[in-house]
Amino acid sequence: MGAGRVLDRPGNRLRPVPTDPQRHGSTFPPGSSLAGATRTTTLESDHTAVDTLADYTVSAWMKLDSADNPATAICEGTSQHQAFYLGYDRGNQGWMFQTTTTNDENSDFPTAEGDNNTGPVNTWTHLVATYKAPVAGDSTTGVMALYQNGTLMGTAANLSPQYDSSLPLTVGGCVNSAAATTPYMVFPGSVADVHVYPRKLSSTEAIALH
């Protein structure tokens, strides 16, 4: 299996981004995870970590402390939305991997997600999101997949992925500007062992990460 880039260890180019302590509060345990419902920081890479126009895989462990709102554990921005979101869908109370098709108000949001009520609170869950970039004439490409605890939960298709090379990958919330200091869709919980791979892992490989 090709090596992934570990993004939650010291020295791996993640830096804290202050957020509003009135709303978010908590601390980041160095070298371990982003943790806590009272977080005061998110983390972001110092440059784009995932080329979302190409094949990629993102994996992490996460634990949700509150299911009151939609929450994104990991994302990578565009100026209007995010190239991808990996987090909690309050609508179906489960985990989701979502992407966008345009960088404007007309975007669709293809979503690979699990069944209703499969995102329990206060439970560590392992997620793997894979994407196979579209190739003209090949109907097996442009495919998104979400694995939860070693099980394929859902798939979707996006033939028009988005990418902004100026924006970082963020853990614990989303931004639309490299200079942003107030993330949105902040994740009320813990995120650990974040890995990104510059290729789509096979189903066998994705399952084996759990």
Pairwise CA distance, residues 66 & 136, whole Å: 42
Written as six digits, the tokens of 190 are 């813990």
Q: What is the pLDDT of residue 179?
A: 77
According to DSSP, residue 187 is labeled: -
Pairwise CA distance, residues 121 & 125, whole Å: 10
Residue 179 neighbours by CB under 8 Å, 6+ apart: none
Pairwise CA distance, residues 174 & 172, whole Å: 7
8 A C-beta contact, residue 86 and residue 75: yes
Per residue of the chain (210 residues), give pLDDT as tens: 444 444 443 333 344 433 332 222 222 233 334 443 334 467 877 778 899 999 999 999 999 998 888 899 999 989 999 999 999 999 999 999 999 999 999 999 999 998 899 998 999 999 999 999 999 999 999 999 999 999 999 999 999 999 998 888 999 988 888 777 788 888 999 998 899 999 999 999 999 999
Pairwise CA distance, residues 50 & 47, whole Å: 9
Q: What is the pTM for the complete model shown?
A: 0.82
Element counts in the chain: helices (H) and strands (E): 1, 14
Q: What is the pLDDT of residue 49?
A: 86
Q: What is the pLDDT of residue 148?
A: 97
Question: 11 to each of 6, 14, 93, 194, how far by Cα in Å?
Answer: 10, 8, 35, 14
Residue pLDDT, tens place only, 36-81 = 333 446 787 777 889 999 999 999 999 999 888 889 999 998 999 9
The β-bridge relationship of strands 169-171 and 94-99 is unpaired
Written as six digits, the tokens of 14 are 């993640």
Residue 85 neighbours by CB under 8 Å, 6+ apart: 72, 74, 75, 96, 97, 98, 99, 174, 185
33 bridge partner residues: 192
Radius of gyration of the chain (CA): 16
Quote the distance between the C-alpha of residue 62 and its chain's center: 10
Q: What is the pLDDT of residue 41?
A: 60
Q: What is the pLDDT of residue 161?
A: 97
Q: What is the pLDDT of residue 26?
A: 25
Helix (H) or strand (E) holding 19: none
